[in-house]
Structure 1
Amino acid sequence: SDLQQRLNRKSVTPKIQQQYPAFMRCYDVLQIGDEDLRARSFRERRRRLEAFVQTLDPSRFDLSPLVEFTDWQALEELRRKPLHPVIEGVMLKRWDSPYLTGRPKGPWFKWKRDPHTVDAVLMYAQRGHGKRSSFYSDYTFGVWSGPEGSEELVPVGKAYFGFTDEELRQIDKYVRDNTIERFGPVRSVRADRRQGLVLEVAFEGLNRSTRHKSGVAMRFPRISRLRWDKPAAEADRIETLQALLDS
């Protein structure tokens, strides 16, 4: 997204702030001034949030709307067909729920849309961190682009979760056995029409990107399945993702 132009910078100049302004949508409030609101019910926090947002600049802040529904079928329809494609689902909160740390079950429920999936080819692998530091666990993958007979892979995303420990060991071995170039902690693996590891990648949505050769960037990609059964030549093409962008 355009806001990425402001990320990973030591300082953001006034010109960049003007070109790529930030906007905040408010969903909940934990504290106002010195008053801790976390123990209050969501109904009370919402009432306080609505009043607080009224004091803010409307060109920079707004309030997340409440979703009204008559039954679960109506809510399911809203979840599957949101008002805007960037919306990933609905968040259900009990009116009497306090704001709790961690992921307690019961007070809140995030009901996300089913993810999109695409079959991509592993292109690069990078060593992980912590307990994964001895494994190649961060994967860059691509899809095919170009006319028939001269196709090339263009990167469309990077993922480092979604697979089991056993699958991690399998991919790590594949990377080591099929490395063709090394760039510090990164390895380039063989990826052509005749050989390559196909990954089924799940993702929440797409953005147009001028930073990537493919012109697209995935939101929240993760590995959903290893396609040892699928030839690299049968992985998806960039047109598949472009169609999603245009839909």
Structure 2
Amino acid sequence: MLNSYEAKCSRLLINLLLQALAKRDPIRRQVLRVKGCLAGSKAEGLLEQGDMILAINKEPITCFHDIENACQELDISEGNDDGLQMTIFRQGKEIDLAVETDIRDGMGTIRMVNWCGSVIQDPHPAVRALGFLPEEGHGVYVARWCHGSPVHRYGLYALQWIVEVNGKLTPDLETFIQVVTGLEHGEFVRVRTVSLNGKPRVLTLKQDLHYWPTWELRFEPESAVWRRRTIKELDPSKGGDVLQCMEGVSEVIIDYNSGTRHHIQKTNGRDNS
């Protein structure tokens, strides 16, 4: 008897919702459904795949433009720290949720590190759209690798996260740089990775700073310039001693607008162009 009553209420609720949505947009007569959430986003733990979005802030939602308007109103409003007040339909029930929004600049990848011949960066939106991040945190993502490099020889390929280096967690790119800066030339490095399907793996590789120095490439949106900075390499002028470029920084500046390249060698704060 209880199941019959719940089914009757559910049908009545659905009819009322359909009438409100049809009145909002009588031509298209559609409803938006959640396909997935970006991994690590604030909506990930609240919205589920298959949820139908009925209303935001008590206003019926029938198209992407309605959601965009609601987000813009949230940006200009003051004192609304609870996010979007969403009404969804899940498994025959109407549910009210407060979903906070995330800021996305749309710039894409603006920073990467080349370490042992692998291109390391923060997980980009296309990866996060898969809906998975390692349990240890965001990690740093291996986007590409070079033939003949240490990562090629020892099997550290692309499409996986590096979550630990020599037992030290690498939750973000800045932490990863700090960890690998302390590694010496010829040192065997233990790396723990997690693949896209969540499978963990531990491998060891030998660092080669002679042919594969550690360097960083960063984009500056204000000046539209890419800057290449050497982090650690062997100094051939000193018989192969390790040169950790912190005070003496070697930079290659690429002007995105004109396409020109400038090499700058900084020594003790002075530029030798």
TM-score scaled by length of structure 2? 0.22
- Where relative contact order (Cα < 8 A, 6+ residues apart) is larger, the structure is 1
TM-score scaled by length of structure 1? 0.23
Q: Which has the higher strand share?
A: 2
Higher gyration radius (CA): 2
